[in-house]
Structure 1
Amino acid sequence: MTPPPRPPSLTTVRSTAFAVAALLLLVAVGTVLDEPLLIPPLAASAALVHGAPGLPLAQPRSVIGGQLLSALTGFAVLTAVGSSPWAAALAGGLALGAMTAARTPHSPAAATAVIVVLQSPAAARFLPLLALATALLVAVGILAGRAGRTAVRYPQYW
Structure 2
Amino acid sequence: MTAPPQPARRDFPHLIRVTAFAIGALLVLVTVGGMLHQPLLIPPLAASAALVHGAPGLPLAQPRNVVGGHLLSAAVGFGTLAVAGSSTWSAAVAAGLSLGAMMLTHVSHSPATATAMIVVLQTPDPAPFLALLTLGAGLIVALGMLPGRIGRHPVRYPLSW
Q: TM-score, normalised by structure 2?
A: 0.89
Q: State the match for 2:150 in structure 1.
A: 147
Q: State the match for 1:22 in structure 2.
A: 25
* Structure-2 change in CA distance of 1:27 and 1:56 (3 Å): same
**Could you report, residue by residue, the CA deviation over 1:59-93 in whole angstroms, capped at 9, with x for unpaired residues?**
00011000000010000000010011110000000
Unaligned 5+ residue runs, structure 2? none
The whole-number CA distance in structure 2 between the counterparts of 1:18 and 1:78 is 34
Q: State the match for 2:159 in structure 1.
A: 156
The whole-number CA distance in structure 1 between the counterparts of 2:32 and 2:122 is 22
Deviating runs (4+, > 3 A) in structure 1?
Answer: 28-31
Report the AA paired with residue 24 of structure 1.
L
Q: TM-score, normalised by structure 1?
A: 0.90
Out of 105, 108, 116, the residue aligned to residue 108 of structure 2 is 105
Out of 63, 71, 76, the residue aligned to residue 73 of structure 1 is 76
Contact 1:83 1:120 in 2 (8 A): yes
Deviation, structure 1 residue 30: 4.2
Q: State the match for 1:11 in structure 2.
A: 14
Contact 1:145 1:155 in 2 (8 A): no
* Structure-2 change in CA distance of 1:116 and 1:3 (3 Å): farther
Report the AA paired with residue 82 of structure 1.
G
Establish whether residue 56 from structure 1 lines up as the match of residue 59 from structure 2.
Answer: yes
Which segment drifts farther, 85-94 or 13-22? 13-22
Q: What is the Cα-based RMSD across aligned positions, in Å?
A: 1.8
Query: Identity over aligned residues, as a percent?
Result: 61
Contact 2:14 2:147 in 1 (8 A): no
Report the AA paired with residue 133 of structure 1.
G
Equivalent residues, number: 155
* Structure-2 change in CA distance of 1:3 and 1:18 (3 Å): farther
Secondary structure, counterpart of 1:83 in structure 2: coil
Report the AA paired with residue 135 of structure 1.
G
Establish whether residue 39 from structure 1 lines up as the match of residue 35 from structure 2.
Answer: no
* Structure-2 change in CA distance of 1:117 and 1:13 (3 Å): same
Secondary structure, counterpart of 1:107 in structure 2: coil
